[in-house]
Homo-oligomer: A and B are copies of this chain.
Amino acid sequence: MTEAHGHTTRRDPSRAELTHLLRSRGQRVTPQRIVILRELRRERRHLGADDVRQAISDAVPGISLPTVYATLDLFVELGLVRRLHVGGGVTLYDGRIEPHQHARCRICGEVQDVDGAPDDAALRAEAQRSGFAVEQVDVLLSGVCQRCRNAG
């Protein structure tokens, strides 16, 4: 038995990180927050707010969607997760912090990670020419994923 039925305690690197960040801002460490962050870090898929709620419904049975939204907003502000705006008004959350970009299949809608940072020097320079202070660069590739190419 490795660690069985994921409970909130026990060696969880994301938990210490979270506790520290929240405490330093006078905010509270709640089970909801612990579980949501752990889920985002564990899951390699990209989750919407309701996906998150479903994914943790065992660990935190009665959690409400407003709480999930509030928590995700907080995590984005803390820099713990990335918010992703893919097509169709869909908003997803990504627990991976390492620099990487995203590719969205126009057939099935699935979003996959693409490792690597964009070579954005030229675009940055161009934006800064007009006085825009660039803080972040998001790249979204669109196309057709392997599975849909095989199916189609």
Interface residues of A (CB under 8 A from B): 83, 85-87, 89, 91, 101, 103, 105-106, 112, 114-116, 118-124, 126-127, 130-146, 149
- Name 7 extra pairs, CB < 8 A, besides A133-B143, A136-B142: A85-B86, A103-B134, A114-B127, A118-B120, A118-B122, A130-B146, A139-B140
**Shortest 10 CB-CB contacts between residues of A and residues of B:** A131-B146, A135-B143, A136-B142, A119-B119, A134-B143, A133-B143, A133-B144, A85-B85, A138-B140, A114-B127
Residues on the B chain within 8 Å of A121, using CB: 119
B127 with A103: CB separation less than 8 A? yes
A123 with B101: CB separation less than 8 A? yes
